[in-house]
Amino acid sequence: MALRREGWLWGTVLALSIAAGAIGAARWMARGEHAPAPSPLHVEEPLSSSREEGHEQTIVPDLPPVPVLPPELRARPSDVETAPSGDGDEIDRLGEEMRLVQEAQRALDREPARALDLLERHRERFPGGALNEAREACTIEAMIALGRRDAAERRYLEFIVDFPRSSFRERLERRLRRER
């Protein structure tokens, strides 16, 4: 008799647990239906809206404009296990870095001197940046476009030492060979 009572007790506990779980799941799902829609992000305009035609391949792919997150959506160092070192928000820095390199790429065919200036600004602002490899490849292309072949070859030799497995290597070699 005690076994039957204990089985009945466990059965009741199990049934109540399942019912409570179902009620909790239903409430959780219903709450999602009434959640307010997120507000749209403000997107900064790219530095230049000009599109270069005939450029065989861009170094940094065409990406959508980098959104500027409102302060309440930005990660705070206390939210991240390992807070990034240095000043400023890492996302904003990467966005600025991307915009400089993309603008230099757009200027490369028509205004290689301007592209070189933008790349130098990138080098000064982001000496250890995430896009250093792309910046250096674009710098070599700008030097080739400006007819500074010797400087481009020297820079290329430094490039292959710094980035021996770079995906830009073949492209730069082709451009240097073509300019001979």
3 state SS for 129-176: CCCHHHHHHHHHHHHHHCCCHHHHHHHHHHHHHHCCCCCCHHHHHHHH
Q: Give pLDDT, residue 4.
A: 55
Give 111's DSSP letter: -
Distance CA(99)–CA(119), nearest Å, equals 11
Cβ-based neighbours of 74, under 8 Å, separated by 6 or more: 89, 91
Which residues, in sequence order, are bridge partners of residue 74?
Answer: none
Q: What percent of the chain has pLDDT over 90?
A: 36
pLDDT interval class at 61 (50, 70, 90):
low
Q: What percent of the chain has pLDDT over 70?
A: 58
147: left (phi over 0), alpha (psi -120 to 50) or beta: left
Instruction: Decide if 140 is inside a domain.
Output: yes
Residues 137 and 161 in one domain: yes
Domain of 169 in residue numbering reads as: 42-74+88-178
pLDDT tens figures, 15-42: 767 877 777 777 766 665 555 555 665 5
Residues 151 and 119 in one domain: yes
Q: Give pLDDT, residue 47.
A: 46
Contact 83, 116 (CB under 8 A): no
pLDDT tens figures, 90-121: 888 888 889 999 999 999 989 999 999 999 99
Residues 103 and 131 in one domain: yes
Cβ neighbourhood burial of 94 (10 Å; 0-12, 13-18, 19+): middle
pLDDT tens figures, 128-140: 888 999 999 999 9
Contact 142, 104 (CB under 8 A): yes
* List of E strands, 13-163: 42-43, 67-68
Give 53's DSSP letter: S
Instruction: Decide if 80 is inside a domain.
Output: no
pLDDT interval class at 159 (50, 70, 90):
very high
Say which CATH number the domain at 173 has: 1.25.40
Residues 14 and 60 in one domain: no
pLDDT interval class at 83 (50, 70, 90):
very low
Residues 60 and 3 in one domain: no
Tell me the average pLDDT of the chain. 75
Contact 66, 47 (CB under 8 A): no
